[in-house]
Amino acid sequence: MNAPYPVRPASVWAEARAGVRDMAPVMVAAVPIGLLFGTLCRAKGLAPAEVMLMSSLVFAGGAEFAAIGLWTTPAPIAALVFSTLLINARHVLMGVSLRPKMRAFRGWRLYAAFYFLTDESWALAERRALTQPISATYWFVMAALLPIAWVGSTVTGSILGPLLGDPKQLGADFAFTALFIGLVAAFWRGRVTAWTIAASGAASALVEVTAGAPWHVAAGATAGIAAAYFAADPDPADGKDAA
């Protein structure tokens, strides 16, 4: 039986370069998103130091956008905590997906690695796992680069907010969507992917206009998982005919 990965591991420098190469385009795409978020924070009255603290500790773009949308004075703590928990619950599934492919991580390194887990680092790691192992060097270089761009751009946006004007006029609000379109396209697998995207998008849009945030995130995730399950070809080992 052939080994699933090259027998000879890549050097540390090669792994580091691969991490930089893979994450660099995502970092570029994250900058306008971060500037937009920082500008929104400034409009809500948050100081640059508070923005830096939020982006560093929460470090979840979708949850942060949802939180700033709910932000009032005084802050609705229960609503903020619940929305953040609900939106970030998808990280449980991403962690389950990645754990078997991260055999090089032991003890505290595993927990430290998952601190940097994001949609982008998950997608890049999953793509790499198709052909190569996920080494500690690759992961920490790749995944730890994004916080630099995210925290830096959000703080910059909060400082320069009044000078930037409305970022939507420049199309910065679409950068978040464009980034995820690119990530999804890298995983295209034909019919199953199409059904998954269609079900997830339809459910998310329907719930967003009826119940609002953050329920549309949970609805989209649930519908996508269900669609992927029912659209997948039966396992030939089960003795069933493939669709």
Query: Is residue 131 located within the same domain as residue 95?
Result: yes
CA distance to 129, 143, 176, 238, per residue, from 163 (Å): 43, 31, 21, 62
Q: What are the mean pLDDT values of the chain's consecutive 10-residue runs (243 residues total)? A: 50 90 89 86 89 88 80 80 79 87 84 88 89 89 92 91 65 64 70 84 87 75 82 57 40
Query: Is residue 135 located within the same domain as residue 49?
Result: yes
Instruction: Give the pLDDT of residue 236.
Output: 45
Instruction: Give the pLDDT of residue 216.
Output: 76
Question: Which of the listed residues 148, 164, 187 is the one where a domain comes to its end?
Answer: 187
DSSP state of 45: T
d(CA 55, CA 75): 17
Query: Is residue 79 located within the same domain as residue 34?
Result: yes
**Domain membership flag for residue 38:** yes
The number of folded domains in the chain is 2
Instruction: Give the pLDDT of residue 3.
Output: 43
**Domain membership flag for residue 7:** no
Query: Is residue 210 located within the same domain as residue 142?
Result: no
Start-to-end CA span in the chain (Å): 28
**Domain membership flag for residue 4:** no
Q: Residue 92 is part of which domain span?
A: 12-187
Query: Is residue 89 located within the same domain as residue 174?
Result: yes
d(CA 184, CA 224): 13
Instruction: Give the pLDDT of residue 70.
Output: 77
Q: What per-residue string of b and e applies to 89-100 under the rule 16 or more CB within 10 Å gives b?
A: ebbeebeeebee
Query: Is residue 150 located within the same domain as residue 198?
Result: no
**Domain membership flag for residue 141:** yes
Q: What is the total residue count of the chain? A: 243
Query: Is residue 34 located within the same domain as residue 136?
Result: yes
Tokens of 65: 């956008």
Query: Is residue 90 located within the same domain as residue 196?
Result: no
Instruction: Give the pLDDT of residue 241.
Output: 39
